[in-house]
Amino acid sequence: MATNIHKTAIVSKKAELGEDVVIGPYCMVGDGVKLGRGVQLVSHAVIEGDTEIGEDCIIHQFATIGLPPQDLKYKGEKTAVKIGVKNIIREYVSIHRASVSGHGVTKVGDSNFIMAYVHIAHDCSIGNSNILANASTFAGHVTIEDFAFIGGLVAIHQFNRVGCYAMVGGCTGITQDIPPYVMASDHRAKLYGLNIVGLKRRGFSEETVNVLKAAYRILFKERVAMTEALRRVKNELPQIPEILHLVEFIEANKRGVCR
| Residues 29, 22: Cα–Cα separation, whole Å | 12
HSE (CB half, 13 Å, CA atoms) of 117? 9
The residue among 214, 138, 190, 201 whose CA lies nearest residue 165 is: 201
| Residues 148, 166: Cα–Cα separation, whole Å | 5
SS (H, E, C) 107-118: EECCCCEECCCC
Residues recognised as catalytic: 122-123, 140
State residue 233 phi and psi, 5-degree precision: -60, -40
| Residues 36, 171: Cα–Cα separation, whole Å | 35
**CA angle (107, 37, 68) in 5-degree steps:** 35
- CB of 87 within 8 A of CB of 69? no
| Residues 89, 199: Cα–Cα separation, whole Å | 25
